[in-house]
Amino acid sequence: MVKMRPDVPAPALRLGFDPDALKANWQALDHLSGNARAGAAVKADGYGVGARQVVPVLHAAGCHDFFVAHWSEVPDLLDVVAPGSVSVLHGPLTDADAAFAVACGVKPVINSLDQARRWLAAGGGRCDLMVDTGMNRLGLPLSQIGDDLLASLDIDVLMSHLVSAEEPSDINPIQCKRWRDACAVIPHQRSSLCNSAGIALGSAYHGDLTRPGVALYGGVPREDMAGTIRQVVTPQAAIMQVRDVAAGETIGYNATFTAPRPMRTGTIALGYADGYLRLWSKTGSFHAAGQQLPVVGRVSMDMTVIDLSDAPNVHEGDWVSADYSLPEASAATGLSQYELLTVLGRRFGR
């Protein structure tokens, strides 16, 4: 007899997700992109937000170009958007990658003449091309943009990637010129240079398509985008236990916190294994019922203790939200806004 597996109960932690803010961020970035359309970088599971929940929202908002890094990220998108709207940034590293792209109908981003040959050998078809204009990481070197082989490719998006768009830098105009030079030589349908921050550099950088990532999810890569971008995700957890702690007692591992007075505390089901890192031990806070609830003692792997002394209306079973505005969290921790998103773990209900 086959035993039915019981449904797993909802976890005591979840990633608060604001689809309206995501939609508004995409629309704002699309508008800032001028004559270009905005696509979306949804790699790394939509920057940790959950590709399967962000892609349908973006698609409904009018987004038709989605970028992932790995081939393993493709299946998550296939039943949510048309395969032809998905590009895989790492390109075909093996013949198996190329065969998979052909079978699924997604576009590889070709990054080298080797990848171009592999793609053509697999049957080829629509692809994108990445030209390296200064990152020196992945992409066709500028010295090869005149190669005859490129004429055999059916290139949709001819792209490059900015090194330093979030700050004024001499390399921005240099990369822009190199990308334009490549566009003049290599046949293609659409041109693309900008990540989130690049969009603010103006129309000379826009081409036909922009590729925002972090700003879609609430990251503010440049001061001048601060008023435009809304917070999209908030780590939230339920209070598992409320306790009274006497003055002089310590809280958590290594007794780093001593109660200066009688306190009321709450233990929540969220820890560094969920990406709520130990560096929040001294600086983190949550909120509920209009009250700020500071973290007390060390964040542990699966639990964090918060101070409820000033929040008598917050009880066991109540949900609290982390103060996790990305620009502020980045300033408080020294971590990048990208890391603060992608570190959020798999135990969150998404």
Cα angle 103, 105, 111 (rounded to 5 degrees) comes to 100
Residue 213 CB, nearest distance to ligand PLP (Å)? 3
Q: Where does this chain bind ligand PLP (CB under 6 A)?
A: 41, 43, 89, 161, 195-196, 211-215
Distance CA 335, CA 340 (A): 7
Decide: helix, strand or coil at residue 109: strand
**Least gap, CB of 192 to ligand PLP (angstroms):** 8
Q: Please report how close the Cβ of residue 187 comes to ligand PLP at its closest, in angstroms.
A: 21
- Mention every residue, 6+ apart, whose C-beta is less than 8 A from residue 18: 230, 231, 232, 233, 234
Q: In this complex, which beta carbon is closest to ligand PLP, that of residue 161 or of residue 350?
A: 161
In the residue annotation, 253 being an active-site residue is answered as yes
Quote the tokens at residue 294. Answer: 């500071």
Distance CA 112, CA 144 (A): 9
Q: Compute the least distance from the CB of residue 218 to ligand PLP, in Å.
A: 11
> Which single residue brings its beta carbon nearest to ligand PLP?
213
Q: What angle do CA 312, 315, 320 make, to 5 degrees?
A: 100
Query: Which one, 221 or 297, has the nearer CB to ligand PLP?
Result: 221
How far the first Cα of the chain sits from its last, in Å, is: 33
Provide the pairing of β-strand 154-159 with 126-132.
parallel
Tell me the closest approach of the beta carbon of residue 348 to ligand PLP, in angstroms: 20
Candidates 23, 43, 47, 324; catalytic one: 43
Count CA within 13 A, CB hemisphere, residue 20: 0
Q: Which token pair is 41?
A: 């970088």
With beta carbons less than 8 A apart as the criterion, state whether 162 and 178 touch: no
Q: Residues 3, 107, 205, 253: which is the catalytic one? A: 253
Nearer of residues 115 and 281 to ligand PLP, judged by Cβ: 115
Q: Which is nearer to ligand PLP, 41 or 288 (CB)?
A: 41
The number of beta carbons lying within 10 Å of the beta carbon of residue 234 is 18
Q: Is 229 helix (H, G, I), strand (E, B) or coil?
A: coil
- Judged by beta carbon, residue 59 or residue 161, the one nearer ligand PLP is 161
Active site residue 43: yes
Catalytic residues: 43, 253
